[in-house]
Chain A
Amino acid sequence: MEFNRKHLLELKGLTREEITFILDTAESFKEVLKRPIPKVPTLRGKTIVNLFFEPSTRTRISFELAQKRLSADSVSFTAATSSVLKGETLRDTARNIEAMNIDMVVIRHGASGAPHFLTQCVKASIINAGDGQHEHPTQGLLDIMTLREKFKTLEKLKVAIIGDVAHSRVARSNIYGLQAMGAEVALCGPPTMMPLDAEQWQAEIFYNLDDALAWADVVNVLRIQLERQQKGLFPSTREYHKLYGITRARVEKAKKEITILHPGPINRGVEIESEMADSEFSLILDQVTNGVAVRMAVLYLLSGGRGAERFDESTN
Chain B
Amino acid sequence: MSLGKPAQSVNRILFKNALVVDPEALTQKQSDVLVEDGKLKEIGKISAAHFSDPVIDCKGLVLCPGLIDMHVHLREPGREDEETVESGAAAAMMGGFTSICPMPNTNPAADNGEVIEFLKRRANGLLVDVFPIAAVTKNRAGAELTEMGELVEAGAVAFSDDGDPIATAELLRRAMEYARLFDVPIIDHCEDKALSKNGCMHEGRISTQLGIPGIPSLSEEVMVARDILTAEFTKSRLHIAHISTAGSVGLVRQAKEKGIKVTCEVMPHHFTLNHEAVLSYDTNAKMNPPLRSATDVEAMLAGLRDGTIDVIATDHAPHSIEEKQVEFDAAPFGIVGLETALGLIITHLVKPGILTLPQAIAKMTLNPATILKLERGRLKIVAPASLTIFSADEKWTVDKNKFKSKSKNTPFHNWELKGRVVGLYNNGLWWQRP
Residues of A near any B CB (own CB < 8 A): 12, 89-91, 109-114, 116-117, 131-135, 166-167, 169, 172, 195-198, 200
- The residue that B280 contacts in the complex, of A116, A132, A172, with Cβ under 8 A, is A116
Q: Which residues of A contact B325 (CB under 8 A)?
A: 89, 91
B328 adjacent to A113 (CB under 8 Å): yes
Tier of interface size on chain B: 20 to 34
Q: Which residues of B contact A111 (CB under 8 A)?
A: 327-330
Question: How far, in angstroms, from A167 to B203 measured CA to CA in the complex?
Answer: 13
Q: Which residues of A contact B212 (CB under 8 A)?
A: 112-113, 132-134
B327 adjacent to A196 (CB under 8 Å): no
Query: Which residues B181-228 have CB closer than 8 A to chain A?
Result: 203-205, 207-214, 216
A113 with B281, Cβ < 8 A, contacts A91-B325, A132-B329 known: yes
Nearest CB on B from A92, distance (A)? 10
A200 adjacent to B327 (CB under 8 Å): no
B214 adjacent to A196 (CB under 8 Å): yes
Q: Which residues of A contact B328 (CB under 8 A)?
A: 111-113, 117
A112 with B326, Cβ < 8 A, contacts A196-B204, A197-B205, A200-B205 known: no
Nearest CB on B from A220, distance (A)? 17
Question: How far, in angstroms, from A112 to B213 measured CA to CA in the complex?
Answer: 9
Question: How far, in angstroms, from A109 to B210 measured CA to CA in the complex?
Answer: 14
Question: How far, in angstroms, from A134 to B211 measured CA to CA in the complex?
Answer: 4
Apart from A109-B327, A112-B281: 7 A-B pairs, beta carbons within 8 A? A112-B211, A113-B210, A113-B212, A113-B281, A134-B211, A172-B209, A196-B203
Question: How far, in angstroms, from A32 to B330 measured CA to CA in the complex?
Answer: 42
Nearest A residue to B283, CB-CB: A117
Nearest CB on B from A135, distance (A)? 7
The interface bits of chain B over 311-325 (1 if a CB of A lies within 8 angstroms of the residue's CB, else 0) are: 000000000001001
Residues of B near any A CB (own CB < 8 A): 203-205, 207-214, 216, 280-281, 322, 325-330
Question: How far, in angstroms, from A134 to B326 measured CA to CA in the complex?
Answer: 17
Question: How far, in angstroms, from A112 to B280 measured CA to CA in the complex?
Answer: 11
Nearest B residue to A134, CB-CB: B211
Nearest CB on A from B154, distance (A)? 38
Nearest B residue to A168, CB-CB: B211
A196 with B211, Cβ < 8 A, contacts A116-B280, A117-B281, A117-B328 known: no
Q: Which residues of B contact A195 (CB under 8 A)?
A: 207-208
Nearest A residue to B280, CB-CB: A116
Q: Which residues of B contact A169 (CB under 8 A)?
A: 211
Q: List 28 A-B contacts (CB under 8 A).
A: A12-B209, A90-B326, A90-B327, A91-B325, A109-B327, A110-B329, A111-B329, A113-B210, A113-B329, A114-B327, A116-B281, A117-B328, A131-B211, A132-B329, A166-B208, A167-B211, A172-B209, A195-B207, A195-B208, A196-B205, A196-B207, A196-B208, A196-B214, A196-B216, A197-B208, A198-B208, A200-B205, A200-B209
Nearest B residue to A91, CB-CB: B325
A133 adjacent to B205 (CB under 8 Å): no
Question: How far, in angstroms, from A11 to B148 measured CA to CA in the complex?
Answer: 56
Q: Which residues of B contact A131 (CB under 8 A)?
A: 211
Question: How far, in angstroms, from A132 to B280 measured CA to CA in the complex?
Answer: 15
Question: How far, in angstroms, from A167 to B330 measured CA to CA in the complex?
Answer: 18
Q: Which residues of B contact A117 (CB under 8 A)?
A: 281, 326-328
A200 adjacent to B281 (CB under 8 Å): no
Nearest A residue to B325, CB-CB: A91
A132 with B211, Cβ < 8 A, contacts A112-B329, A116-B280 known: yes
Q: Which residues of A contact B207 (CB under 8 A)?
A: 195-196
Nearest CB on B from A109, distance (A)? 7
Nearest CB on B from A203, distance (A)? 12
Nearest A residue to B202, CB-CB: A196
Nearest CB on B from A7, distance (A)? 13
Q: Which residues of B contact A197 (CB under 8 A)?
A: 204-205, 208
Q: Which residues of B contact A112 (CB under 8 A)?
A: 210-212, 281, 328-329
Q: Which residues of B contact A132 (CB under 8 A)?
A: 211-212, 329
Tell me which of A131, A132, A135, A169 has the highest count of chain B C-beta atoms within 10 A of its own C-beta: A132
A172 with B326, Cβ < 8 A, contacts A197-B204, A197-B205 known: no
Question: How far, in angstroms, from A257 to B37 measured CA to CA in the complex?
Answer: 91
B213 adjacent to A133 (CB under 8 Å): yes
Q: Which residues of B contact A166 (CB under 8 A)?
A: 208
Q: Which residues of B contact A134 (CB under 8 A)?
A: 210-212
- The residue that B208 contacts in the complex, of A109, A135, A200, with Cβ under 8 A, is A200
Q: Which residues of A contact B205 (CB under 8 A)?
A: 196-197, 200
A89 adjacent to B326 (CB under 8 Å): yes
Q: Which residues of B contact A12 (CB under 8 A)?
A: 209
Nearest CB on B from A46, distance (A)? 26
Nearest B residue to A12, CB-CB: B209
Q: Which residues of A contact B209 (CB under 8 A)?
A: 12, 172, 200
Nearest B residue to A89, CB-CB: B326
Nearest B residue to A198, CB-CB: B208
Q: Which residues of B contact A89 (CB under 8 A)?
A: 322, 325-326
Nearest CB on B from A84, distance (A)? 11
Q: Which residues of A contact B326 (CB under 8 A)?
A: 89-91, 117
Tell me which of A113, A131, A196, A198 has the highest count of chain B C-beta atoms within 10 A of its own C-beta: A113
Nearest CB on A from B89, distance (A)? 31
Question: How far, in angstroms, from A116 to B204 measured CA to CA in the complex?
Answer: 21
Q: Which residues of B contact A198 (CB under 8 A)?
A: 208
Q: Which residues of B contact A135 (CB under 8 A)?
A: 211
Q: Which residues of B contact A167 (CB under 8 A)?
A: 211
Question: How far, in angstroms, from A134 to B204 measured CA to CA in the complex?
Answer: 14
Q: Which residues of A contact B203 (CB under 8 A)?
A: 196
A113 adjacent to B213 (CB under 8 Å): no
Q: Which residues of A contact B280 (CB under 8 A)?
A: 116
